[in-house]
């Protein structure tokens, strides 16, 4: 089966088996290792991508369901060598300790801040509730995103 879709504004075609996960195809076939493989159950958010405008855990999306889809991964956030402001803020605040959860948080935060550029702390927490960090305690993540939310 040949499946064509868009990844980070570039057309891609795969012949992966329809039952393979989007996450597996991203990492193993397309060379996009930013989305992390942690729980494989959609519980941690480490593999979060934007799929046709919605946040999804790529471990739960079968590649067979991706025909014609528009997908953005963490690799698609930066503009060349210039980090997205969310990525830069996370880095500046030290919110990337082990870095395993960072791609999912970055994708989720960029997606949310496009919808609500000036959220409250509670709104940020709710928007990121599908992402788990095991080492930062969330303080640095929240400082980074609150700093962006406060900018005009």
pLDDT of 152 = 75
Q: CA nearest 8: which of 80, 61, 64, 60?
A: 80
Q: CA nearest 50: which of 30, 73, 66, 68?
A: 73
Helix (H) or strand (E) holding 149: helix 139-150
pLDDT of 40 = 92
SS3 105: helix
- CATH number listed for the domain at residues 3-76: 3.10.20.30
pLDDT of 150 = 86
pLDDT of 105 = 97
Q: H-type helices in 17-133, by residue range?
A: 22-24, 85-92, 102-115, 121-127
Q: Which tokens sit at 9?
A: 């504004």
Average pLDDT, the chain: 95
Q: Where exactly are the structural domains of the chain?
A: 3-76, 85-150
pLDDT of 111 = 98
Q: H-type helices in 16-68, by residue range?
A: 22-24
Give Cα 39 to chain centroid, integer Å: 15
Give tens-digit pLDDT for 81-94.
Answer: 999 999 999 999 99
- Give the pTM: 0.95
pLDDT of 98 = 87
Superfamily of domain 85-150: [2Fe-2S]-binding domain (1.10.150.120)
Regions of the chain with pLDDT less than 70: none
């Amino acid at each position: 089966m040949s499946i064509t879709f868009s990844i980070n504004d570039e057309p891609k075609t795969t012949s992966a088996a329809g039952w393979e996960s989007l996450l597996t195809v991203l990492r193993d076939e397309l060379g996009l290792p930013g989305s992390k493989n942690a729980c494989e159950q959609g519980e941690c958010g480490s593999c979060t991508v934007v799929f046709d405008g919605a946040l999804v855990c790529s471990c739960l999306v079968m590649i067979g369901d991706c025909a014609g889809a528009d997908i953005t991964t963490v690799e698609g956030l930066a503009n060349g060598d210039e980090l997205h402001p969310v990525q830069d803020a996370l880095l500046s605040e030290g919110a990337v300790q082990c870095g395993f959860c960072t791609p999912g948080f970055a994708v989720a935060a960029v997606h949310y801040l496009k919808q609500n550029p000036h959220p409250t702390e509670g709104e940020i927490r709710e928007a990121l509730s599908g992402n788990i960090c095991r080492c930062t305690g969330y303080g640095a993540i929240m400082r980074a995103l609150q700093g962006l939310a406060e900018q005009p």
